[in-house]
Structure 1
Amino acid sequence: MRIVTVCCAFTFCFADILDITVPAPTFDIEHGRLVVENAVYFNVPGAPNVPGRKVTIALPPGAIVESVHFHGRREEVGMLLIGPTEPPMPFTQNSETDQIIEHYAKQKAYFYASHEPYPKTYGVLFSHGGIRRQRVLDIVCYHFAYKPVSQTLYYTPNVHVEIHYHMPRPESERAQFWCSLMNDITYGGCDENTIFNWYDAQQWYYVDTPRQANGYYVIIPAVLLSAVDTLVAHRQNQGYDVHVITREYIETNSVGNDTPQKIRNYLRDNIADIAYALLVGSSTDMPWRSMVPFNDDPDSPYNSTDYSPIPSDLYYAELTDPDSLSWDSDGDGYYGEVFDQYFNLVGDDNPDYHADIHVGRIPYSSESIIQDICEKIVRFDTTTDLSFKTASLLAGALYYYENENNTGCTRNDGADYLEQLLNSGVLDRAHTVTLYEKGGRDPCTYTCTDSLTRAHMISYWQQRGIMYECHHGGNVEYARKVWYWDNGNNVPESFEMSWPTALHVDDVYLLDNEYPATSFLRSCLCGNPDVEGLGTKLLRNGSSAVISSSRVCWMSGLDRGGIPHHFYKRLMQDTIVSNGLIGDAYTLAKTDFMDSCGFWIPAYHYNLFGDPATRQFGTLVGIDNTPPSAPSICTEKSGADILLTWNTVATDTLGSTETMDCYVVYRSTAPDFVPGLSDSIGMTTHPDTEYVDVGAITSAQDYYYLVVAVDAAANKSKKSNMGCVFHKDVNENPVTTHKNWNERTAIQ
């Protein structure tokens, strides 16, 4: 990796080039199939489904990207068969799905008649923005290419990425925005597993005085201010820095073309302080920003407002750049354009999918209803009864039957996604009720607690802290799909289906509201904010939080479990980063999904109704606040250099085993120095426990060294003993030196 700096006269600042080499993932060919570890598949539907490698690259704070270029050289591997990329599909069966399948067949025929390699390029820029203080690019490198006619596979061992960028003027708004975040460590997901060029990022973003945002911001119409008093007092008692801001204040004091833009700009102005934002009010009183994922096509290629525009709170959660550089970068008033009509990633806008704050909503404008919801959230937030909080209700209907309507489609059973959670251990089968489709022809083959019916959906919704359903949905209900009869051709067809209701808004008041669930609705339109639909009603009764879809739900064949699977995995299992907080788990789930398949629409259409700071377990879990043990260093001469070595730190100060992230090396000419940012001369990534101070012996100065260990949770150890390099006699002053080391090593 190298950084080249050249003068760029027309920018009045420096233009820089960051060169990065991305090696190919490990691969093998087994039984004529290409098997690649940790691959992603960001391809056009119908094109050869070649693997790629997605990486997130850090840039210096506030860097402005001018261009990204990919280079490589392909080598022929040999002949094998690579199948086509499946299209994303909505969870519905109608003329729109027929249109998608028809176009997929045409695209497949086009690509598989080609003698040209696919893809032609060595990589693509997928997204650019930031993860709070980290300026990042998300790219996909294509180390493999395929010629369909000859069935020839090509391999590129290394893809070279050349990023041209320049830095903003110090006095600019952009520079000030990034400066405000320089000590921020709020987002816990940035580490060597996230950032490809982690060493560069450590140098650019090293924090000596870390600061974690503790702000809990409530944005609400003025007339409803008192409705959230109970929740505000609760969050204040938990130690949050709570701010309650009226929508009217923001409309008067923030800049923007409309209320959504003013709200987003207000959040951007205060991002350094904000961890959580709760929006309160109906869609009329607390407006949404609607996304248009297909270029210049507000009602989608399917000419239906059930598909687009998509109300999405990702707009308020992702705050890196102003609208003019991100959500509406082409200035046409259509936000979030990322696809052409065939799902090619050639969008007119430049959105970023990395959320910077956690956002939720209480979508009501009734003071009494808001008060009731807030009181319920507080009860749930403080209940530590794990027999309730970890108990699950999983209900799955059939999305598609095999070869439904002679489309050739494979069977798609909602129970598959629920079993995936159970088989992977995310949810405990022993504490789970499962309801699967047992009616009609060709029913679900999994064993379950009981058959899926409306009565069972209601009766089993008792003392369940988790509820996840997969059905066909509408604004006010989700329903089963049952192949009720057959006309004799043994093909499931639309006119042979019945659609029994599984849960309706009229059923909500029969549900258990004393033990409400954290609910995920994987059914179309249940979270439509334009009406008081099922998702909204469930927040009022039966659920403490509801994640639901504002428009038609979509699925990517590259990550079939989708955002719901990632959400429950982050909430119930991977709690080191999420800490069991609903908003944190939801933010991480969307990022996980986008990293795996790059399909924007689900990241748009799922939204959280409820408080993002809600604790699933009634307490924070998975938090590590214990500092690691201090290392012990030695210094020795190596020619003109000084070699520093120290022991591997493997425990914290309580004796518990843990893994270090890095070791920071400090140097000073003062024997009693307290290490600060200006004293840091470098760092090593664990498990490297050596550092060479090049040319230190040739200096006329006496040097004093300290090392600090930093664990994966960013906890810092106490200072090590001090290592010293003496070039002349020094009279020690024990009064000033004993505080900084236990022993000294002198090199003459």
Structure 2
Amino acid sequence: MKKVIIFLIICLFIFSGMQGVASYERVDNNSFLNSNDYKINIAPITKPYSQICQIINKYGEQTNEELKIFSVSYNIYSSDQTDFKEIKEQDNSIKKINNFQTYNYVIITTEDLYNAVISSTFIGWKTLIGYNIKIVNITDTEITSQTGKDLPEKIRNFLRSYYQSWDIEFVLIVGNHATIPMRYCYPDPTNHRFDIFDWTSGEVPTDYYYADLSSSDDESWDLDGDGYYGEYVQDMPDFFPEVYVGRIPTNGKSRITYTLDKIVTFEQDTGDWKQNALHAGAFFYFTNEGNSGNPAMDGAKLSSYIENDIMTGWNISHYSEQVGLEKSVYSWPALNEAAFINDWRNGQYSIVNWQGHGWTNRVARKVWLTDDGDGIPEANEIDWPDFINTNSDLDDDFPSIVTAVSCYVGCPEPATGGNLGIDLLTDPYLGASIGVVASARSPYGSFDWPNNPGGSDSIIYEFNRFMINDSKKIGEALYDSKYFCNLNYGWTHYAEYLDMFTFNLFGDPSLDIKGITVENLPPNKPTIDGQNKGIPGNEYTYCIIASDPDEDNLYVKWDWGDGTSSEWGGPFVSGSEVCSSHIWGTKGSYTVSVTVEDEHGLSVNAYKIVTMPRYRYLQNPFLKFLQNHPNLFPFLRLLFGL
């Protein structure tokens, strides 16, 4: 892959007669003209700070850290969008031609979570709209047979081995950060300190490791072989996404099924509300904060550029900081939790972009509340009211694609007070998101964006542009935007790698924001009603409501999980109650499944776990004594069938 990229870039330079690569121009209607010859200032944009940095730690207290502002320049290998598209087309053209079964969508999960995946409508829906899905458990030989010093490397080597022959486009990881590990990277090669809830530590968890498959670990992600992945300069991932990766970041089985079903419902909806957006921008820095001499950094600027450059014809609701001694120059309605949350809950928005200081469970406004008379914003003069947190009153009626330019909102590790990015996607009691693009740690941004582009603002800007203007799937939009920014706006600083790693996708990488229309929808997923526990030898009845969005006639078949199943029943009118009875003869746990199929052959499955206790419930005291003492009187136990 690197040879292909180098060859194409060299050819492009020769063809165009270029004498060097000191400058470039982005080729589109909203171009940024930039040079690599001067310095720009960047800073971590997602921690509350003044000259002394105020941060919210895991106990909700405030501690102090020194402000980190760096002067950087642009990398000399910058390229434009034309190069990017040519490289992508070249990659697609060299996929292996073979006679093997292909799977353009791979789900990686565990045996324990497998049923939670197949219990959803996700597999059936994705198959209906053209995906060929393969579920691979981490204990399957496709992964266990790979070389690698740990599970992440084996998973990556599995993808490297199969992505061309299977023609894989999308990879969905189902499981939390530990069960199917993210790769911890260390973009600052001088900082190998691991401390999850200290933003100055070195580690950054990322799923990009599973998307960039160009070279083996020892040729790319850990080039220097020291065991610290993704170090700036010392390691050389090329960031080209051979596959697009998303994650359902939970081991909660009901949450997994809920999230996958929600994704299907979203994609089946092609309503006009898919062109509505909600934006919220808070301050990151005030003008001359802490007597730094730096300009203000207002999050609303990014939202404004997205609105004006990209969202032509969209209906947009937006909020900015209008309280305190320095107000946003974007004269929008005042940002506060009540206004923002009420609007989100009662409105219908396919995209929510926000910018503001954050932590694992909250995002805050930044208000310069008082001044001691020197005209300089200082730490003890600043207030931090939330505008969203894990207790906000939201629902999932119209879930949104969320981008959060806020530190730790995308933190995958369990945190006190909850994980906002995870809960917005997977918690039915919050559930307002259908996909979350958020930072696992603290990203960096340019003070003078977009005049000096790059960093988190450019990633989110390009993400929106790719998704809206180029109609890319959400995973394509994220990874293509990061790769584009790395080629065009790459900084000569480890912050460049940090921003590449820290933004991950929680959700389905193949999600289509506009929705997909099909001629015939599958039946609605039923719920199996009936007892969860029983006694061997007794008969139990289970019922469903069989319904179909197209009012098709339906057919129903039951599988009892013990090697027996019913015949197909039907046709049933949509909305009919369908019941069936069964007797389990032995003790154990059984997965009852029911298949509902419409007259066109589209089907949906539902599942229920039913357990038969180890022993029947006994009223006779003597028999209960034998049951509770299994090692006594084995002959009598056998005689009484215990």
1:502 corresponds, among 367, 387, 399, to 387
Equivalent in the alignment of 1:84: 39
Give the distance between the partners of 2:314 and 2:107, measured in 1 at CA.
39
C-alpha change, 1:434 and 1:490, in structure 2 (3 Å) is same
Equivalent in the alignment of 2:133: 242
Equivalent in the alignment of 1:51: 35
Equivalent in the alignment of 1:100: 68
CA deviation profile, 1:412-448 (whole Å, cap 9, x unmatched): 1111111101111x12475111011111111112222
Do residues 609 (structure 1) and 506 (structure 2) align? yes
SS of the equivalent of 1:225 reads helix
1:679-718 equivalences under 5 Å are none
2:330 corresponds, among 441, 446, 452, to 446
Give the distance between the partners of 1:279 and 1:465, measured in 2 at CA.
23
Give the distance between the partners of 1:319 and 1:535, measured in 2 at CA.
26
CA deviation profile, 1:593-634 (whole Å, cap 9, x unmatched): 21221122211100000011111111299xxxxxxxxxxxxx
SS of the equivalent of 2:265 reads helix
SS of the equivalent of 1:381 reads helix
SS of the equivalent of 1:488 reads coil
Do 2:218 and 2:225's aligned partners in 1 also have CA atoms closer than 8 Å? yes
C-alpha change, 1:18 and 1:553, in structure 2 (3 Å) is closer
Equivalent in the alignment of 2:464: 568
Give the distance between the partners of 1:463 and 1:303, measured in 2 at CA.
34
Give the distance between the partners of 2:337 and 2:453, measured in 1 at CA.
29
C-alpha change, 1:473 and 1:306, in structure 2 (3 Å) is farther
C-alpha change, 1:257 and 1:395, in structure 2 (3 Å) is same
Give the distance between the partners of 1:547 and 1:50, measured in 2 at CA.
27
TM-score, structure 2 normalization:
0.66
Give the distance between the partners of 1:554 and 1:607, measured in 2 at CA.
15
Query: Which residue identity does 2:213 align to in structure 1?
Result: L
Equivalent in the alignment of 1:520: 403
Equivalent in the alignment of 2:163: 271
Equivalent in the alignment of 2:56: none
Equivalent in the alignment of 1:217: 106
SS of the equivalent of 2:41 reads coil
Query: Which residue identity does 1:597 align to in structure 2?
Result: Y
How far the C-alpha of 1:190 sits from its partner, in A, is: 9.4
Do residues 334 (structure 1) and 231 (structure 2) align? no
Higher RCO (Cα < 8 Å, 6 or more apart): 2
Do 1:25 and 1:37's aligned partners in 2 also have CA atoms closer than 8 Å? no
SS of the equivalent of 1:451 reads coil
CA deviation profile, 1:348-392 (whole Å, cap 9, x unmatched): 11111111101000011111111111110000011100x211100
C-alpha change, 1:418 and 1:239, in structure 2 (3 Å) is same
Where structure 1 has 5 or more consecutive residues not aligned to the other structure, the ranges are 4-16, 28-33, 40-48, 53-81, 108-117, 125-138, 142-188, 339-346, 622-748
How far the C-alpha of 1:213 sits from its partner, in A, is: 6.8
How far the C-alpha of 1:474 sits from its partner, in A, is: 0.3
1:315-334 equivalences under 5 Å are 315-334=209-228
C-alpha change, 1:231 and 1:306, in structure 2 (3 Å) is farther
Do 2:298 and 2:328's aligned partners in 1 also have CA atoms closer than 8 Å? yes
Do 1:307 and 1:551's aligned partners in 2 also have CA atoms closer than 8 Å? no
Equivalent in the alignment of 1:584: 476
Do 1:471 and 1:523's aligned partners in 2 also have CA atoms closer than 8 Å? yes
Query: Which residue identity does 2:250 align to in structure 1?
Result: Y
Give the distance between the partners of 1:226 and 1:404, measured in 2 at CA.
53
C-alpha change, 1:306 and 1:384, in structure 2 (3 Å) is farther
How far the C-alpha of 1:205 sits from its partner, in A, is: 5.8
How far the C-alpha of 1:327 sits from its partner, in A, is: 0.2
Equivalent in the alignment of 2:175: 281
CA deviation profile, 1:287-336 (whole Å, cap 9, x unmatched): 11011001142239999455531001110011111101000011100001
How far the C-alpha of 1:486 sits from its partner, in A, is: 0.4
CA deviation profile, 1:482-528 (whole Å, cap 9, x unmatched): 00100001111111000001111111xx2130210011011000111
Do 2:122 and 2:260's aligned partners in 1 also have CA atoms closer than 8 Å? yes
Do 2:26 and 2:81's aligned partners in 1 also have CA atoms closer than 8 Å? no
Equivalent in the alignment of 2:594: none
Query: Which residue identity does 2:41 align to in structure 1?
Result: E
Query: Which residue identity does 1:239 align to in structure 2?
Result: G
C-alpha change, 1:504 and 1:99, in structure 2 (3 Å) is closer
Query: Which residue identity does 2:436 align to in structure 1?
Result: V
Do residues 485 (structure 1) and 440 (structure 2) align? no
How far the C-alpha of 1:471 sits from its partner, in A, is: 0.6
Give the distance between the partners of 2:86 and 2:128, measured in 1 at CA.
36
Query: Which residue identity does 1:258 align to in structure 2?
Result: D
SS of the equivalent of 1:539 reads helix
Equivalent in the alignment of 2:576: none
Query: Which residue identity does 1:367 align to in structure 2?
Result: K
Query: Which residue identity does 1:619 align to in structure 2?
Result: I
Do 1:277 and 1:358's aligned partners in 2 also have CA atoms closer than 8 Å? yes
Give the distance between the partners of 1:19 and 1:234, measured in 2 at CA.
42
Do 1:25 and 1:36's aligned partners in 2 also have CA atoms closer than 8 Å? no
Equivalent in the alignment of 2:115: 226
Do 1:583 and 1:613's aligned partners in 2 also have CA atoms closer than 8 Å? yes
Do residues 427 (structure 1) and 321 (structure 2) align? no
Give the distance between the partners of 1:300 and 1:409, measured in 2 at CA.
31
Give the distance between the partners of 2:321 and 2:99, measured in 1 at CA.
52
Do residues 549 (structure 1) and 439 (structure 2) align? yes
Between the aligned residues of both structures, percent identity stands at: 28
SS of the equivalent of 1:233 reads helix
RMSD over aligned Cα atoms: 3.6
C-alpha change, 1:242 and 1:209, in structure 2 (3 Å) is closer
Do residues 259 (structure 1) and 168 (structure 2) align? no
How far the C-alpha of 1:85 sits from its partner, in A, is: 2.9
Query: Which residue identity does 1:282 align to in structure 2?
Result: N
Give the distance between the partners of 1:311 and 1:419, measured in 2 at CA.
30
Give the distance between the partners of 2:264 and 2:127, measured in 1 at CA.
12
Do residues 378 (structure 1) and 261 (structure 2) align? no
Equivalent in the alignment of 2:192: 298
Do 1:294 and 1:301's aligned partners in 2 also have CA atoms closer than 8 Å? no
Query: Which residue identity does 1:241 align to in structure 2?
Result: N
Give the distance between the partners of 2:196 and 2:508, measured in 1 at CA.
34
Do 2:45 and 2:284's aligned partners in 1 also have CA atoms closer than 8 Å? no
Query: Which residue identity does 2:501 align to in structure 1?
Result: Y
Do 1:436 and 1:444's aligned partners in 2 also have CA atoms closer than 8 Å? yes
Query: Which residue identity does 1:260 align to in structure 2?
Result: P
C-alpha change, 1:210 and 1:471, in structure 2 (3 Å) is farther
How far the C-alpha of 1:212 sits from its partner, in A, is: 12
How far the C-alpha of 1:564 sits from its partner, in A, is: 0.9
Do 1:438 and 1:452's aligned partners in 2 also have CA atoms closer than 8 Å? yes
C-alpha change, 1:483 and 1:375, in structure 2 (3 Å) is same
How far the C-alpha of 1:460 sits from its partner, in A, is: 0.7
Do 2:270 and 2:517's aligned partners in 1 also have CA atoms closer than 8 Å? no
Give the distance between the partners of 2:242 and 2:288, measured in 1 at CA.
43
Where structure 2 has 5 or more consecutive residues not aligned to the other structure, the ranges are 4-9, 28-32, 54-64, 491-495, 519-642
Query: Which residue identity does 1:223 align to in structure 2?
Result: D
CA deviation profile, 1:641-683 (whole Å, cap 9, x unmatched): xxxxxxxxxxxxxxxxxxxxxxxxxxxxxxxxxxxxxxxxxxx
How far the C-alpha of 1:206 sits from its partner, in A, is: 11
CA deviation profile, 1:269-288 (whole Å, cap 9, x unmatched): 11112111100112221211
Equivalent in the alignment of 2:360: 475
Do 1:398 and 1:481's aligned partners in 2 also have CA atoms closer than 8 Å? yes
Give the distance between the partners of 1:225 and 1:207, measured in 2 at CA.
30
Query: Which residue identity does 2:424 align to in structure 1?
Result: L
